[in-house]
Structure 1
């Protein structure tokens, strides 16, 4: 079997973002041989930010995207911007010490600031709104845990601006009686993710980046002093390569090392038809990002006069109608006023989970580098990590804390990962139903 036989590009998601995004340029596929100092494999947030930083520094850069732009997670996600990792800072302090937890908190904050700076620098109109992020406690026990963690963050990390909300305040905030309380953080917001991606791509091209779509990299060989990447209709010579394929690292065997280091987890979303005025004033009227405290976390947000609701989708390679039905049922349980109100869009995509719940970036060899594993919290973080990896190519030493890896971590018992994910999710769902 050759490299070409292993390429499997997923279809673009029929998402709300595709409907709302303005027309974007069509990017050519590679038809001849080309040469650059850096080849970036993957045209998502991480890859495009790396390319932009390098091009601004005068480097020649090629970005090779396997499918149409927006095929991967950067074109499918929920557009939630937050300054966090999947693992809590208190857990990081327990396992790595308070100094490391503080560094990671600072890195997360920088990632959101960098996104905001990028939008302003390149005049990207992606409907970004910094209205805050609200954690919604589904039980009294969960609210107590949120409150303790908020106090810990204030005392140990110096976090300011966190606000505890009681049941009545949560009802006013969300329009739901389902939550016992919550914690509101000011640093967070929402964005139209595909608009953001298109804006980044256009800025990269203006900066001199050569962007090829529908151009999967099949193989990369190291030769004396350079790399040779093979594509279906040509080859690319480069001094360095950055693999930024995240949860879509199984598309080609060239990213097999990354594929063995992440667990793709399907995240599904539904979007309602526009809400009538009475509902629009009641449901999530402050247009924050909202996440539950359930182990199998669900999240929701407004996009204009629509509600978007997301959570775990099907565990297989394709969507299952039953997964969307469960999601819609959960949405109507939280917001019973939506009963009978139509859902107009259903889509999903994969996020890349890592064994330690942290992103990872580093080098496979002196010439081959990687950035992946954003654990469903990568809208801000993935771009910032891509930017930092580019700075490393330029001889700088940005601080990525625990994200920086000396070696590429491996998922234990990789061959059984699907069975393990199903077992863990079933257990989590059971604990959620029991209120633990």
Structure 2
């Protein structure tokens, strides 16, 4: 079987990260207590939890370390879900919203604790996250949401900024105001992933990149996974392949739970000193409130600008053209500044805009669907799924599903994504 891997991302991260640890592809047969399929943030944190519980563990990945979403995302560390806590409270009750809020906050704490535990150098800075409103109506909604979070969930690390303060924070006059959340931050994701993989290997976990799982079958008390170099036998399996679950049939059931959505990123050349001093001077992560949301941040004196809606082939020129036009509209001062890097990757969306994890059978588990907020969240969910597989009862609230969900009308998902994208882009153009 030929496995069609995505091309390596010619990203800002790849240009600045240390070399990946020298970890071999699997050659021969292997037997362990638990196999984790997918060496991203989720899978590696799950492996750490399992090894910490005394299990023998192997992590298998189809590509090189960081080829998937964990190595090519924007490096935004956030304590949130794509779905708002007010919406969760309305649908599932206030107690559940509080628990989900605690999980989100814990995800950032867990990431920081991991960096400290292993002494990982990953460029993490707890700079805060700024949500920038593109209309007065959006600003009013953001203020109301901040008031609700303070009054109902006890958030104290929120500050509302007016138009002038937002301009000083961003260097753009495009926003009516903003809400600053102090919990978030930024990280170099590929550097983090490679350092984490090396730490996992030092803990005695067998980490094997370039080892695609071609087939998975349950045979009595064991699960057998066929790889190009042999067979891996285990008592349990965790599928942590997220938006890249279509690479082989072995993760086909996870694939049917998700809608992959391309996210594109561009990075400017190093900015002149005068622009570097004005644009995003505090180094936070920044998002805007348009339906086709864009985000931006500064990295080593460059502006990194990203967004969703990159339909079609990976690294399609039209996606980057639209993204560059949006960047220059928000930041007119960048006229004449060249784009140095362009890359894209998949985000895994779910039908209810929340991550999902659980069991496909008594021996096969899964975790996926981080909806673009997974740098911290996927690590915590992986850690807690590792604990669950090892016999503990960690808190996962709405993330833990009683049965595997599937995307309705799965075969039409690409048509649906294109239709929703076109509709949202029209509404944004009208200022609605």
Both structures adopt the same fold (TM-score exceeding 0.5)? yes
Q: How many angstroms apart in 2 are the aligned matches of 1:434 and 1:195?
A: 40
Q: How many angstroms apart in 1 are the aligned matches of 2:291 and 2:176?
A: 16
**Which residue pairs with 1:140 in the alignment?**
136
Alignment of 1:352-391 (within 5 A): 352-391=348-387
**Which residue pairs with 1:304 in the alignment?**
300
Secondary structure of residue in 1 paired with 2:234: strand
Q: How many angstroms apart in 1 are the aligned matches of 2:22 and 2:336?
A: 39
Q: Are the counterparts in 2 of residues 313 and 319 from structure 1 also a CA contact under 8 Å? A: no
Q: How many angstroms apart in 2 are the aligned matches of 1:41 and 1:377?
A: 21
**Which residue pairs with 2:93 in the alignment?**
97
Match of 1:194 among 190, 193, 200: 190
**Which residue pairs with 1:229 in the alignment?**
225
Match of 2:330 among 328, 334, 345: 334
Secondary structure of residue in 2 paired with 1:405: coil
Q: Are the counterparts in 2 of residues 361 and 369 from structure 1 also a CA contact under 8 Å? A: yes
- 1:59 to 2:55 alignment: yes
1:34-61: per-residue Cα shift (whole Å, max 9, x none)? 1110100000000000011111222111
**Which residue pairs with 2:270 in the alignment?**
274
Match of 1:43 among 39, 46, 49: 39
Q: How many angstroms apart in 2 are the aligned matches of 1:435 and 1:99?
A: 35
**Which residue pairs with 1:116 in the alignment?**
112
Q: Are the counterparts in 1 of residues 314 and 344 from structure 2 also a CA contact under 8 Å? A: no
Match of 2:201 among 198, 205, 227: 205
Q: How many angstroms apart in 1 are the aligned matches of 2:100 and 2:258?
A: 21
**Which residue pairs with 2:212 in the alignment?**
216
Q: How many angstroms apart in 2 are the aligned matches of 1:341 and 1:153?
A: 39
The alignment's C-alpha RMSD in Å is: 0.8
1:9-52: per-residue Cα shift (whole Å, max 9, x none)? 11221111000001222321111001110100000000000011
Q: Are the counterparts in 2 of residues 52 and 203 from structure 1 also a CA contact under 8 Å? A: no
Secondary structure of residue in 1 paired with 2:265: strand
CA deviation after TM superposition for structure 1 residue 244, in Å: 0.1
CA deviation after TM superposition for structure 1 residue 221, in Å: 1.1
Q: How many angstroms apart in 2 are the aligned matches of 1:299 and 1:14?
A: 19
Q: How many angstroms apart in 2 are the aligned matches of 1:250 and 1:81?
A: 26
Q: Are the counterparts in 2 of residues 313 and 324 from structure 1 also a CA contact under 8 Å? A: no
Q: Are the counterparts in 1 of residues 46 and 386 from structure 2 also a CA contact under 8 Å? A: yes
**Which residue pairs with 2:419 in the alignment?**
423
**Which residue pairs with 1:149 in the alignment?**
145
Secondary structure of residue in 2 paired with 1:24: coil
- 1:168 to 2:167 alignment: no
CA deviation after TM superposition for structure 1 residue 313, in Å: 4.3
Q: How many angstroms apart in 2 are the aligned matches of 1:373 and 1:42?
A: 14
TM-score normalized with structure 2 length: 0.99
1:222-258: per-residue Cα shift (whole Å, max 9, x none)? 1122111101121101010000000000000011111
How many pairs does the alignment contain? Answer: 432
CA deviation after TM superposition for structure 1 residue 63, in Å: 0.4
Stretches of structure 2 lacking an aligned partner (at least 5 in a row)? none
Q: How many angstroms apart in 2 are the aligned matches of 1:11 and 1:176?
A: 34
- 1:79 to 2:71 alignment: no
Q: Are the counterparts in 2 of residues 313 and 348 from structure 1 also a CA contact under 8 Å? A: no
- 1:182 to 2:178 alignment: yes
Q: How many angstroms apart in 2 are the aligned matches of 1:318 and 1:54?
A: 35
Q: How many angstroms apart in 1 are the aligned matches of 2:313 and 2:301?
A: 31
Stretches of structure 1 lacking an aligned partner (at least 5 in a row)? none
Match of 1:400 among 396, 399, 402: 396
Q: How many angstroms apart in 2 are the aligned matches of 1:227 and 1:415?
A: 29
